[in-house]
């Protein structure tokens, strides 16, 4: 699919970056890659520049500091929309989102499909989706968080917290991105909620989520608790709004 940009936010991912970019380029040779680095002290940004210097399909944006996942993606969305990309993909740098699953996400966005999607979620929690090398505690936390957000916000998506996603650019242009204020873990739920509120067609396709081999996960219990608190507030606000309109 021409006009596809894969966005990879990074913070201290030097060990993983070259491999993940190489796999993206192999899985979707027509796609471009944008690395958004939050001033990684381990030299991730410098490595990204080296890769970009030898591959014109790789681009780099440097940010002043660690400002959060949501801020990095919103910055990347604006960059991509300004340059006319048709499709924008979210992907983690650590290998947990397998580039080999990328063609499946892009196929679901195909404008020639009978029911093309506006947003495709790479889902762990539908038939065919699975996880590898996760401790049970983390699986329960992720499943529980997705289930809670689904019920609180009344959205049908099974994997509400999934970060492996593909957006159609014209759908992003219709989304009120100025109303997306979450910058951390809750950003994924925030964007999904806005997508459903905007009437987007959201499709889930099964993917395999693999635990990272190098580096440390940036997920903590505190981050999850903060995200669930936000979801609770959004759910309450949404219910009052529906009552006010008689829905």
Query: Are the beta carbons of 164 and 90 closer than 8 angstroms?
Result: yes
Give residue 162's pLDDT: 94
Beta bridge partners, 241, equal none
Give residue 113's pLDDT: 63
- Could you tell me the end-to-end alpha-carbon distance of the chain, in angstroms, rounded to an integer? 39
Can you list the residues of the chain whose pLDDT is less than 50?
1
Give the length of the chain: 247
Q: What is the pTM of this model?
A: 0.88
Query: Are the beta carbons of 124 and 143 closer than 8 angstroms?
Result: no
* Domain-wise residue ranges, the chain: 4-242
Round to whole Å and give the CA distance between 16 and 180.
29
Q: How would you label 16-55 residue by residue, b for 16+ Cβ within 10 Å and e otherwise? A: bbeebbebbbebbeebbbbbbbbebeeebbebbeebbeee
- In angstroms, the Cα distances linking 45 to 12, 90, 91 are 9, 18, 17
Q: What are phi and psi of 164, to 5 degrees?
A: -95, 105
Topology of the domain covering 4-242: Spore Coat Polysaccharide Biosynthesis Protein SpsA; Chain A (3.90.550)
Give residue 241's pLDDT: 57
Q: What is the pLDDT of residues 84-108, one digit of tens each?
A: 999 999 999 999 999 999 999 999 9
Give residue 124's pLDDT: 96
């Amino acid at each position: 699919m021409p006009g596809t940009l894969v966005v990879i936010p990074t913070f201290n991912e030097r060990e993983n970056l070259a491999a993940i970019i190489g796999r993206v380029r192999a899985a979707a040779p027509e796609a471009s890659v944008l690395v958004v680095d939050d001033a990684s002290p381990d030299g991730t940004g410098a490595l990204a520049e080296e890769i970009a210097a030898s591959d014109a399909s790789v681009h780099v944006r440097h940010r002043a500091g660690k400002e959060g996942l949501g801020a990095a993606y919103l910055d990347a969305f604006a960059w991509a929309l300004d340059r006319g990309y048709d499709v924008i993909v979210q992907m983690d740098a650590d290998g947990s989102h397998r580039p080999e699953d990328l063609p499946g996400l892009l196929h679901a966005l195909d404008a020639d499909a009978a029911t093309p999607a506006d947003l495709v979620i790479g889902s762990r929690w539908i038939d065919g989706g699975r996880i590898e090398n996760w401790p049970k505690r983390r699986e329960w936390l992720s499943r529980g968080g997705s289930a809670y957000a689904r019920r609180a916000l009344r959205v049908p998506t099974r994997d509400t917290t999934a970060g492996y996603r593909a957006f159609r650019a014209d759908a992003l242009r219709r989304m009120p991105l100025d109303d997306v204020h979450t910058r951390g873990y809750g950003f994924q739920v925030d964007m999904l909620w806005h997508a459903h509120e905007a009437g987007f067609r959201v499709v889930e396709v099964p993917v395999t989520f693999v635990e990272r081999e190098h580096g440390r996960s940036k997920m903590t219990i505190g981050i999850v608790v903060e995200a669930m608190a936000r979801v609770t507030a959004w759910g309450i606000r949404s219910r009052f709004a529906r009552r006010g309109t008689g829905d």
